[in-house]
Amino acid sequence: MKLRTFCNLLAAVIFSAIAVPLLTFSRAQWSDPIEKRVSAQMPPAPHRLGDLAAFLKQFEAYFGDHLGQRTALIDLRQYIDVSLFQRSPTDLVLIGKQDWLFFTGDHAIDDYRGRQRLSAEQLDSWYRTLKQRHDALAAQGIAYRFVFAPNKHSIYPEFMPDSVTRGASTQFDQLLAYVKQKGDLDVLDDLRPELIAHKSAGPLYGVLDVHWNRYGAYFGYRTFMQDLLARNHVAGAHLLELRPQDFQKVPTRFGDMAQMMHFNPYLRDTLTFQYAGPPLACPHIQATVPPRAVGAKGTPDRDEMTIDCLEPGRSARLMMFHDSMSEAMFDYITNSFGHVRFTWTYPDSHDIACYVAAEKPDVVIEERSERGVIAVPNASVPFACN
C-alpha cells in the first residue's frame, strides 16, 4: 500500500512537472537584462522541405523561450549545478573555493595560466604608445600615469580551483618587464603588492563580483596617488588619508558575477567592505555631465562627468580615462583634485590630445583592468587633435 501511494505521488509530481510548463506557455515577448537579449519569435511555417531543418531549430528556440515557468526551471537547474556540482551555468564565471567567483572573459584564465602571451610586436606597440603619450604630455607640463587595476585572481589565487594551475607570469608581467628593460619610461603603476599586503584584513574584492570593493579600491588609489605625488610633484593634489575603521565588513549575496549566473541574490552570504567613515567633502554624486571634447571620437556623453572640489589644497586638474574598476575609487579621486573629468573609454592618442586641449589638465591618468592589457593600443595614431 505504501509503495503504491509513493508511486502515485511520484507519478503526480512528474506529470505536474511536465504539464504545468505546457499549460502556462506564453507567447508574450520579453527582454532579459541579464541575458541581454529578447525572446525568440515564432518562425514562419516552412513552404519547402528544405526549409524544415531551419524551421525546427528556430521553433525549438521559440518554444524554450516561451515555456511556462521558464525562469523557475532555469533557477532550479542552476541551483543544482552550483550547489551539488560546483558547475557554473555560464562560461564567463569560474566557481572557486569558498564561493569565490572569478571572471573568465578577455582570456583572463588563459592569462592566469601563462598561456596568453603578448607578442614582441604587441609589447613594442604598448611601449611606443606609452612613451609617445608621456613625452607629448610632459612637453606641456602635464604629469602622466597608467594604472592597471589587478584581476581578482591576481590577488586571491588561493581561492582559484585546484584544477586551474597558475603560470609563471602574466601579460602584465611581460609589459612591466619590457618597459623596465627599456629604462627610459616610468609611467606604469603595479598595484598588486599593496593589495596583497593588506588582504589579510578581509576581502578587498567582492567575493561574487568582478570588481574590488571600496576598501580594495582605496589601497589601489593610495598606491598610484603616492607614486604620482612622489614622482611628479603635482602641486594642488591631495592624498586622501583614510583609516581601517573607516571601512566596515558587511554581508552580501549580490555581485555582478552572481547576476551573470542568474543568482541575485546568491545562495549564501559572503563578506565585503563598504565605506563607513565621515562624509567626504566632494562626493562624485555631485558631478555634472559635460559635452564630449571637441574632435574626440570617444564614448557616449552618459559615460562622462566632471566635478569641482573647492576644499583647501586642491587646485590641480585631472583628466582620467577609465573602465568600471574606477567606479569604487571615484569619491577618493574627486576629493584629491580641484577639478576632475572622468571619461569611460580606452582612448587612442588622438582622443587624449583632444581632451587635453579641452580640459587643460595638470595630470592625465589612464586606468583599465589588468585583463585589458590584451587590448593593445595602436602606436601609429598621432598625438594630435585635428
pLDDT digits (tens, 9 = 90+) for 342-381: 999 999 999 999 999 999 999 999 999 999 999 999 999 9
Percent of the chain with pLDDT over 90: 67
pLDDT attached to residue 6: 77
Percent of the chain with pLDDT over 70: 92
pLDDT attached to residue 29: 84
Q: Is the pLDDT of residue 126 over 90?
A: yes
Q: Over range 35-61, report the average pLDDT.
A: 84
Residue 369 neighbours by CB under 8 Å, 6+ apart: 148, 149, 151, 210, 323, 324, 325
Least confident among 50-59, 109-118, 283-292:
283-292
Per-residue burial over 263-298, b if 16 or more Cβ lie within 10 Å, else e, is: beebeeebebbebeeeebebebeebeeeebbebbeb
- Contacts from 24-30 at CB under 8 Å and sequence distance 24+? 24/68, 24/69, 25/66, 25/67, 25/68, 26/66, 26/68, 27/66, 28/66, 30/65
pLDDT attached to residue 65: 82
pLDDT attached to residue 3: 80
pLDDT single digits (tens) 257-310: 999 988 878 989 999 999 999 999 999 887 787 766 666 665 444 488 999 999
Q: pLDDT grade, residue 1 (50/70/90)?
A: low
Record the cell numbers describing residue 278, joined without a space. Answer: 565621515
Least confident among 58-62, 77-81, 323-327, 330-334:
77-81
pLDDT attached to residue 23: 75
Q: pLDDT grade, residue 51 (50/70/90)?
A: confident
Record the cell numbers describing residue 139, joined without a space. Answer: 612637453
Q: What is the 3-state secondary structure (H, E, C) of 9-63?
A: HHHHHHHHHHHHHHHCCCCCCCEECCCCEECCCCCCCCCCHHHHHHHHHHHHHHH
C-alpha to C-alpha distance for 211 and 328, rounded to whole angstroms: 8
pLDDT attached to residue 301: 45
Would strands 37-38 and 31-32 be described as parallel, antiparallel, or unpaired?
A: antiparallel
C-alpha to C-alpha distance for 383 and 386, rounded to whole angstroms: 10
pLDDT single digits (tens) 80-113: 667 666 778 889 999 999 999 999 999 999 999 9
**187 vs 285, residue with greater confidence:** 187
The answer to whether the CB of 184 falls within 8 A of the CB of 230 is no
Of 286, 304, 285, nearest to 347 (Cα)?
A: 304
Q: Is the pLDDT of residue 311 over 90?
A: yes
The answer to whether the CB of 102 falls within 8 A of the CB of 118 is no
Record the cell numbers describing residue 265, joined without a space. Answer: 541574490
Residue 217: φ, ψ to 5° = -60, -35
pLDDT attached to residue 35: 63
Of 311, 310, 332, nearest to 322 (Cα)?
A: 332
Q: What is the mean pLDDT of the chain?
A: 90
Give the distance, in angstroms, between the CA of residue 353 and the centroid of all CA atoms in the same chain.
Answer: 26
pLDDT attached to residue 149: 98
Q: Over range 6-33, report the average pLDDT.
A: 76
Residue 281 neighbours by CB under 8 Å, 6+ apart: 309, 311, 335
Q: Is the pLDDT of residue 162 over 80?
A: yes
pLDDT attached to residue 98: 95
Record the cell numbers describing residue 306, joined without a space. Answer: 566632471
Q: Over range 307-318, report the average pLDDT.
A: 95
- Contacts from 31-38 at CB under 8 Å and sequence distance 24+? 34/259, 34/260, 34/262, 34/264
The CB density around residue 18, as the number of other CB atoms within 10 Å, is 10
pLDDT single digits (tens) 326-338: 999 999 999 999 9
